[in-house]
Chain A
Amino acid sequence: MGSLNSEDDQARFASVVLPHLADAYALARWLTGDRADAEDVVQEACLRAFRGIGGFAGVNARAWLLTIVRHAAYTWLGKNRSASLVMVDDLEAVEQQQASGGGAFEQGPQTPEAALIAKADARRLEAAIAELPVPFRETLVLRDVQGLDYREIAEVTKVPIGTVMSRLARARRRLIERIGTDEPRGAA
């Protein structure tokens, strides 16, 4: 049990990072919107994780890796889709405003039936999720697609748990409205 060397790092990497590759890829794909780009992001994130493996505290490997993947994805978005990241600041401002203003909750013009929502197919759901602003999208994906709990999402996205809850609620409400109003009959 000597000091860390490259083989120890590799063994740790294999046991800490590799088991969560599918989760890493899923988050990267939802953030970049593209499979090939997601692979690049995950590969970059894994290299960062390998270099930083000594700093992993050994508690929640998945949340730790997803934090790095999210960071890598944001870097990628900043280079390639900077328009999508402008939204982040705006949303934060809106959220803070709403929080200080008593947490007004936007109510859509239309509240579709649950039965209509239940009938949404994969393509419609994917499209609606892809349209969500990044902070809402990542929160929803981490919870409803990847199954993280609120505390893990708070850790990965670096916001308080209350913000996770309000973002999740808003993301779901947007999806519900989108699926409810965007009638599938004429949709291409």
Chain B
Amino acid sequence: MTPTDPRLLVHAYLDGELDPAHALEIERQLADDPALAAERERVEALRRAIAEQLPREGAPPGLARRIEAAVGLQGAPAPARSSSRPSWRALAASVAVAAFLGSGATWLTLSPAPPDADMIVANHVRALMATQPVDVGSSDRHTVKPWFNGRIPEAPRVVDLAGAGFPLVGGRIDVVGRTPVATLVYRLRQHLISLSEVPGRTIATPERQIAGYNIVSWTDDGVAYWAVSDVAAADLDAFAKAFRAAEPER
């Protein structure tokens, strides 16, 4: 179905849901039709009023604890929550990006690509939920590194950090933007660390935490590195330091 009533479409236009062709058409009509322009102003005023007057409130403090207790989680490490309430939506947005398949609404545009950090975290979350967090499982870097040959243009830097307390679990291919990238998985005790290596990419905004996951990012030799995990920030920093200090074995 293609809705044509401009008073309906103006809402989708203001919500950023129209494809460019329909957006242009609405802009043309807004310029020609004072009544439609007034409607746009009213809708904008309403959206602004709601955003300013009705801020989102968090869940009541006791609720999370009761629910954790109800499912037997009390006392267990809860990886994705803790102190990060404001950034939950960032993760939701990133996880949502891959979600939308075939709705048949041709007048809708696609959501813009999320920042790299969001996609890196989304990849990590996805990996944690998969049957296995790696495509190639091995603690031997001489097995993991060659596995990437032929799958991505540049084999990743793989180092052995078992001595530093971060044994290698394996590797997998993630997608950042539309680019397949190498991700190594290391372990600290029972926690997994995803390390994505993105050649030729700059780190626009060095996020430290998204949706409760800690993030460390750096650039070496033109490769952007992103480490994501639910381990404590200090542990992740130690991991990054150990990785960067390990002798190159290219």
Binding site for B on A (CB under 8 A): 1, 6, 10-16, 18-26, 35, 39, 42-43, 46-47, 50, 56, 58-63, 103, 105, 111-115, 117-122, 125-126, 129, 143-147, 149-152, 154-155, 160-162, 165-166, 168-169, 172, 175-176, 179
Contact = CB atoms under 8 A, between A and B. Distances in A.
Nearest to B3: A162
A13 B70 CA distance: 12
A60 B49 contact: no
A59 B54 CA distance: 29
B53 A120 contact: yes
A62 B79 contact: no
A162 B54 contact: no
B50 A21 contact: no
B71 A46 contact: yes
B89 A147 contact: yes
A149 B17 contact: yes
Interface of B: 1, 3, 5, 7-8, 11-12, 15, 17, 38-39, 41-51, 53-54, 56-60, 63-64, 66-68, 70-73, 76, 78-81, 85, 88-89, 91-92, 95-96, 98-100, 103, 105, 108, 111, 125-126, 128-133, 137, 211-212
A12 B54 CA distance: 31
Contact of B43 (A35, A103, A145, A176): A176
Contacts of B132: 1
A171 to B, nearest CB: 10
Given A20-B92, A105-B5, A172 B67 contact: no
Which among B15, B46, B129, B132 has the greatest number of chain A C-beta atoms within 10 A?
A: B46
B92 A61 contact: yes
Given A14-B81, A18-B78, A172 B63 contact: no
Contacts of B131: 1
Contact of A25 (B46, B59, B129): B59
A143 B15 contact: yes
30 contacts: A1-B137, A11-B79, A13-B71, A13-B73, A15-B80, A16-B129, A19-B88, A19-B91, A21-B59, A22-B85, A25-B57, A25-B63, A39-B63, A42-B59, A43-B63, A50-B71, A58-B126, A58-B129, A60-B99, A114-B44, A117-B46, A118-B48, A125-B54, A160-B103, A161-B105, A165-B3, A165-B12, A165-B17, A169-B7, A172-B11
A20 B92 CA distance: 8
B3 to A, nearest CB: 6
Contact of A125 (B7, B49, B92): B49
**Which 5 residue pairs of A and B lie closest in terms of their CB atoms, listed nearest first?**
A60-B99, A15-B80, A114-B41, A62-B92, A117-B45
A150 B108 contact: yes
Contacts of A176: 42-43, 46
A147 B49 CA distance: 14
B47 A144 contact: yes
A47 B166 CA distance: 35
A60 B129 contact: no
A122 B73 CA distance: 37
Contact of B72 (A6, A15, A43, A120): A6
Contacts of B111: 149
A146 B11 contact: no
B5 A58 contact: no
Contacts of B67: 18, 21, 42-43, 46-47
A59 B57 CA distance: 25
A26 B59 CA distance: 8
Contacts of B58: 22, 25
